[in-house]
Copies of this chain bind each other. A is one copy, B any other.
Amino acid sequence: MYRRELLSLGVFALVPQVSGLVAPPLELDDLVAANHILASENIVDGYGHVSYRSPRDKSRFLLSRSIAPESVTALDILEYGLDGEPINSKGATSYKERYIHSEIYRARPDVNAVVHCHAPSLIPFGVTKVPLRPMYHQSAFLAAGVPVFEIREAGGMTNMLVETAALGRALAKTLADKPAALMRGHGAVVVADTIPNVVGRSIYLEINARVQAQAIALGGPITYIDPEEARKYAASDNYSRAWELWKKKAK
């Protein structure tokens, strides 16, 4: 929809915020949809963000200017370099924590999409010693383990925000080769190879946290998804069936 509107208006030549973009509008559609889905599925509220690595230049990524995800349109999306600098900000304000994205893209060539969120269900697992573990096939990717980023180890007493490249690098180091990391007293970061996958992982990460807390409250030992089961399941799904539904519901 945005794509067609943009083309019909010729905005790529006319609108300042967009003219700096190398990305074709198709990715914008998906990135805008991802913003709206994360809001409608209660993964983000007024805060949190999602980015996408430019397929034409692996050293750049697309991320909205600093507004609530639910309100993002194609016109709000800016391009950034791997130092977290906007290529052409046109005066728009950037998210302070864009370094979460830039440093993960730098450290992880396999990652093309990054979500940062503060979903309430995730917070308890970031501030206790209880590790998040996979409760069912939908969150099988958690079998790889979910490390917790303690910002004090990297930056001492901070304002909790990953608002420098150094803190972003420390977070990327904690994330290592995993699909998600919790951030103590803050939230989480989720990564994947595609936009639908990073959205799907974010949604099922949140459900897993709720379900695991309920299972712990029931008492007794819990049978988690086995790493081998997780490996086999990983090959069989890409959230494509759910992606169409999420888009419809987010409209």
Q: Is A145 an interface residue (CB 8 A)?
A: no
- A209 nearest CB neighbor, chain B only: B214
* CB-defined contacts of A207 to chain B, threshold 8 Å: 120
Q: Is A70 an interface residue (CB 8 A)?
A: yes
Verify B128–A45 contact, CB threshold 8 A.
Answer: no
Q: For chain A, give the interface size range.
A: 35 or more
Q: Is A14 an interface residue (CB 8 A)?
A: no
Q: Is A12 an interface residue (CB 8 A)?
A: no
Number of identical protomers: 4
Q: Is A83 an interface residue (CB 8 A)?
A: no
Verify B213–A217 contact, CB threshold 8 A.
Answer: yes
Interface stretch (choices A105-113, A154-162, A173-181): A154-162
Give the CA-CA distance A217 to B225 in the complex, in Å.
22
Q: Assess A214 versus B137: contact at CB under 8 Å? Given A45-B242, A158-B232, A242-B47.
A: no
Taken residue by residue from 202 to 239, chain A's Cβ proximity to chain B (1 for < 8 Å, 0 otherwise) reads as 00000100110111111111111110110011011001
- A183 nearest CB neighbor, chain B only: B136
Q: Is A73 an interface residue (CB 8 A)?
A: no
Give the CA-CA distance A31 to B28 in the complex, in Å.
36
Give the CA-CA distance A68 to B248 in the complex, in Å.
11
Give the CA-CA distance A244 to B210 in the complex, in Å.
29
Identify 20 residue pairs between A and B in the complex whose beta-carbon atoms are under 8 Å apart, listed by A's number.
A46-B242, A46-B244, A67-B241, A67-B244, A68-B242, A71-B244, A118-B136, A120-B211, A123-B135, A124-B135, A127-B222, A127-B223, A128-B218, A128-B220, A128-B223, A129-B220, A136-B186, A160-B225, A160-B232, A160-B233
